[in-house]
Amino acid sequence: MPKMKTKKSAAKRFRLSATGKAKRSRAFKRHILTSKTTKRKRHLDMETLVSKADARRVREMLPYGRP
């Protein structure tokens, strides 16, 4: 059986935690930052978990994970 391929677009956007949960970066931190408060920008730097509805699909796209 051939090797499973990793979806490279997903590999650039998501990481798997040690327990197997998918983590992602937050949106809205690329441009138009002057109108956002310092606190809001600081919180946008933190990673968050992928929602339960999407987590299974993300794990399927990353068969070998990225610890």
Gap between the Cα atoms of 17 and 19, Å rounded: 5
Q: Which two tokens mark 19?
A: 């327990």
pTM score, whole prediction = 0.82
**φ, ψ for residue 17, nearest 5 deg:** -75, 175
How does residue 15 score in pLDDT terms, banded at 50, 70 and 90?
very high
**12 pLDDT above the threshold of 70:** yes
| Least confident segment among 15-19, 33-37, 41-45 | 15-19
**φ, ψ for residue 14, nearest 5 deg:** -130, 155
Fold of 8-61: Factor Xa Inhibitor (4.10.410)
Q: Is the distance from CB of 7 to CB of 61 less than 8 angstroms?
A: yes
How does residue 65 score in pLDDT terms, banded at 50, 70 and 90?
confident
What is the enclosing helix (H) or strand (E) of 52?
A: helix 52-61
